Structure 1
Amino acid sequence: MWFRAALFCVFAVALALASALAGHMISYSFAAKVGSKSVDGILNLLASSMLAVTTFALTAMVQAYSGATNSITPRAVQLLIDDSTSQNALATFLGSFLFAIVGIIALSTGIYGETGRVILYAGTILVIALIVVTFLRWIQHIARFGRVSDTIDRVERAAIAAVHAMVQPPRFGPAEEPSVPDGASLIHHTDIGRITHVDLAQVGEVAASIGCDIHLVGLPGLLVDPARPLAWARAPVDEQAACRIRDAFTIEHHRAFDHDPRFGLVVLGEIAARALSPAVNDPGTAIAVIEAGTRVLAAVLRHCPEPGWTPPAGVIVPPFAFADMIEDMFRPLARDGATTIEVGVRLQKALAALAVIEARARPDCRAEARDALDRALGELTSKRDTTELSQLHHQLWSNKMPPPSDATFAIPARRC
């Protein structure tokens, strides 16, 4: 944001210099016709009004962040902070204020006459036009900025973008502990935090230098500590090579959306859990989250890495476990929505839709659906609801499972 505001200052300084150096090229009659004398009042009005508009815009953004933290989930606030439209609007308003201040200072020096004011006048009109366009866009944007539906859409887009960055298709079946052979060289990290990015090219260079494959253990989103290995190799790894491998892992205090598709699913689950809390009691939002999460998981099932996304030679990257992904997404919903039949029905249909997309995911989806059913049967108080949910589960997960008839998930076509 500071860069955009700085551009306005540079533009104002350039106009001031151009007015002083090239003002003599403009005739007095033309300067009188365009009303260049009014530039003083315009700049004063711009300076006073844009400071108030900047304060208003900043207040609206802070309120949106606070509302998302209190009513949605704190983990989604980063997506609101990174919103380019809000940053551009705030930078434009602040930059126009700085432009007016620089223009007023330039006029107070008296280094150019009436003709030199024409250039500054023209630049001021251009800035006002930019302010009007930005303000109209900002009004349209702030009407939905930070709302629950807008936040769900942002998390969904971020999660799907992270899915497209995966270098391996998902692995199906129960989660497995990484198998490290005896005598392998283990590389540990000295910091404690979350992996947000792995520089595979740098790891590939180290693998080529030691002449042995390097097997990664840590994926983006994993919490690392000195006791948990990041990678291992069968060949001896000296300290210099180990340092380069550690440097390839970006460790932060908090998880990020960019390369961690599971984090997006976790955040969606948190939004649904907050909506299903007794204080909120909003099953409609939980159902919207289920549909968004199902689209993300469908993208996971349909994902085929592009040729440019394949790991470098000598780097073995483990795939994300699909069972972990659906657990991240659906377990909070099954737990907190166990007393709501509408959420239970939608959960069963969503998992059945995923099983139709990829047959290998059927056991994982069936296990999660069974867990959701067991939780619901223990919490539902209506016999009719328990019978309806049990019958639906049996219908969807029988050997001849038809696709859900009323699925509303817009699932994209397979990418490969």
Structure 2
Amino acid sequence: MRLKLDWIARDVANQLWFTVGLYCLLGVTAALSALFLDRLIPDAVSSRVGADAVDRILGIIAASMLAVATFSISTMVQAFASAATGATPRAAQLVVEDRTAQRALATFIGAFVFSLVGLIALSTGAYGSSGRLILFAATVVVVVLIVVMLLRWIHRLSRLGRLGETIDQVERAVNKAIDDRRQNPCLGGRRAPLLEPPGTPVVSRKIGYVRRIDMGGLSRIAERGQFDICVTALPGTFATLDRRLAVMVACHDDEIAREVANCFQIGDQRSYEQDPRFGLIVLSEVASRALSPAVNDPGTAIDVIGTMVRVLSNWTDGADCPRDEIKYPRIFVPAVAARDLLDDAVAPIARDGAGLVEVGMRLQKAMQALANLGNAEMTEAATAHAELALARARQALSFAPDIQRLSSASTRDT
């Protein structure tokens, strides 16, 4: 239950409205705090420091921040649309969750709310001389924050929503998911056997994608009942009402099966968090869009291939699952195979770029680089995909020297 609340809190914290609302609340608190802190300032000090100009400063902030916030909102909407149309709609969520953009917009709107509340309180005569001094000090702090955030926002605007930046954001998300999987092989459980064990199946109670798995919750259920649980639906799996999420070994209690099903978070969209394959799918979608006749941008596809090589070079398939990293000994989880990763990442690009020799050459070099990483499973998968890409290119290309170049670059021939 605690982990589920943590998931909900994390998802809410990534929403734009939450950050803006939090900063607005801070702005209101800062403006009204002068009503309660004026007793801490001696009258002698407040009389020496003039703070009569605070109402004019607040007026300037209110007028300027409203204009800046409106401009920032329109800019962010354009960035979201650019990421969705230029890259893929699945990558637009990362632009929405951009922390610098969220904080910039939240700072501007929060400063506007602060100045508006301050002006209202000043017009009612709620502040005394000490209160006006505290409000003046708070206004100076707000002005400094605005200047700093404006500088950061101007720097961020040069990249926000651009295709290259969107690809970099997806790469960071995939690398984070891969790093988490390396630290927790098989999500912290044991590696599941190839054949599904006999037992009571746990089916999905919703239709959607498996976004996260509460491994701690599954472990507590298994330890309490002294039985094993074999997960059959990894994050990213599309679950239907008859889709098996897990199998309870030597347990036949329907109530416990419902508890196990509740440990799987089902949503309308896939999540990057526990699903490294999703990020690779998004990257391949960016490349496929770039290779479409309407866009015709093979350079972006080549850039994506290089990104995939960097990402997959950091990948370990978790085949060994070291004992000291097994946190949940009664939970068995299938490992993500290198072949599955390359199916998601390479196959669409090889299909859509089969008729472009420059894309085919970069694919062959990329597969050769992955095959030389020293991982047997990755070597086998990269070699197989290099052969498939070469076979597709041979059917799509008609110029014999181009086919020969690709053949010589294939990992099969090196």
Pairwise same-fold verdict (TM > 0.5): yes
Counterpart of 1:235 (choices 247, 250, 257) is 250
- Measured against aligned partners, the alpha-carbon deviations of 1:163-183 in whole angstroms (never above 9, x if no partner) come to 12223379xxxxx9963345x
Counterpart of 2:279 (choices 247, 257, 264) is 264
Alignment of 1:16-415 (within 5 A): 16-19=35-38, 21-22=39-40, 25-27=43-45, 29-32=47-50, 36-166=51-181, 167-168=184-185, 179-182=195-198, 184-301=199-316, 310-357=326-373, 358-393=375-410, 396-398=411-413, 401=414
The residue that corresponds to 2:6 in the other structure is none
Q: CA deviation at 1:385?
A: 0.8
The answer to whether the Cα contact below 8 Å between 1:216 and 1:315 also exists between their aligned partners in 2 is yes
Return the letter of the residue paired with 2:104. Answer: A
Return the letter of the residue paired with 2:366. Answer: A
The answer to whether the Cα contact below 8 Å between 2:200 and 2:252 also exists between their aligned partners in 1 is yes
- Measured against aligned partners, the alpha-carbon deviations of 1:352-387 in whole angstroms (never above 9, x if no partner) come to 111111133222111111111111111123222111
The answer to whether the Cα contact below 8 Å between 2:34 and 2:127 also exists between their aligned partners in 1 is no
- The TM-score, its normalising length taken from structure 1, stands at 0.88
Q: CA deviation at 1:29?
A: 5.0
> Aligned partners of 1:229 and 1:95: how far apart in 2?
47
Q: How many residues align?
A: 387
Inter-CA distance 178–218: structure 2 relative to 1 (3 Å threshold) = farther
Return the letter of the residue paired with 1:229. Answer: R
- The TM-score, its normalising length taken from structure 2, stands at 0.88
> Aligned partners of 2:129 and 2:208: how far apart in 1?
62
Return the letter of the residue paired with 1:383. Answer: A
> Aligned partners of 1:147 and 1:162: how far apart in 2?
23
Inter-CA distance 108–391: structure 2 relative to 1 (3 Å threshold) = same
The answer to whether the Cα contact below 8 Å between 1:215 and 1:315 also exists between their aligned partners in 2 is yes
* Unmatched 5+ stretches in structure 2: 1-18
Q: CA deviation at 1:123?
A: 1.1
Q: CA deviation at 1:10?
A: 0.9
The answer to whether the Cα contact below 8 Å between 1:187 and 1:231 also exists between their aligned partners in 2 is yes
Return the letter of the residue paired with 2:409. Answer: L
The answer to whether the Cα contact below 8 Å between 2:197 and 2:230 also exists between their aligned partners in 1 is no
The answer to whether the Cα contact below 8 Å between 2:317 and 2:335 also exists between their aligned partners in 1 is no
The answer to whether the Cα contact below 8 Å between 1:76 and 1:155 also exists between their aligned partners in 2 is yes
Q: CA deviation at 1:25?
A: 2.6
The answer to whether the Cα contact below 8 Å between 2:24 and 2:110 also exists between their aligned partners in 1 is yes
Inter-CA distance 47–103: structure 2 relative to 1 (3 Å threshold) = same
The residue that corresponds to 1:409 in the other structure is none
Higher mean alpha-carbon deviation, 186-195 vs 115-124, is at: 115-124
Inter-CA distance 206–86: structure 2 relative to 1 (3 Å threshold) = same
SS at match of 1:328: helix
SS at match of 2:314: helix
The residue that corresponds to 1:3 in the other structure is 22
The answer to whether the Cα contact below 8 Å between 1:165 and 1:309 also exists between their aligned partners in 2 is no
Q: CA deviation at 1:271?
A: 0.3
SS at match of 1:69: helix
Q: CA deviation at 1:390?
A: 1.2
The answer to whether the Cα contact below 8 Å between 1:26 and 1:115 also exists between their aligned partners in 2 is no
Inter-CA distance 356–43: structure 2 relative to 1 (3 Å threshold) = same
> Aligned partners of 1:228 and 1:51: how far apart in 2?
51
* Unmatched 5+ stretches in structure 1: 171-175, 402-416
Q: CA deviation at 1:43?
A: 0.7
> Aligned partners of 2:306 and 2:83: how far apart in 1?
20
Please report the RMSD computed on the Cα atoms of aligned residues, expressed in angstroms.
2.1
SS at match of 1:214: strand
SS at match of 1:339: coil
Inter-CA distance 229–169: structure 2 relative to 1 (3 Å threshold) = closer
Q: CA deviation at 1:258?
A: 0.6
The answer to whether the Cα contact below 8 Å between 2:206 and 2:266 also exists between their aligned partners in 1 is yes
Higher mean alpha-carbon deviation, 266-275 vs 374-383, is at: 374-383
Inter-CA distance 305–143: structure 2 relative to 1 (3 Å threshold) = farther
Inter-CA distance 224–302: structure 2 relative to 1 (3 Å threshold) = closer
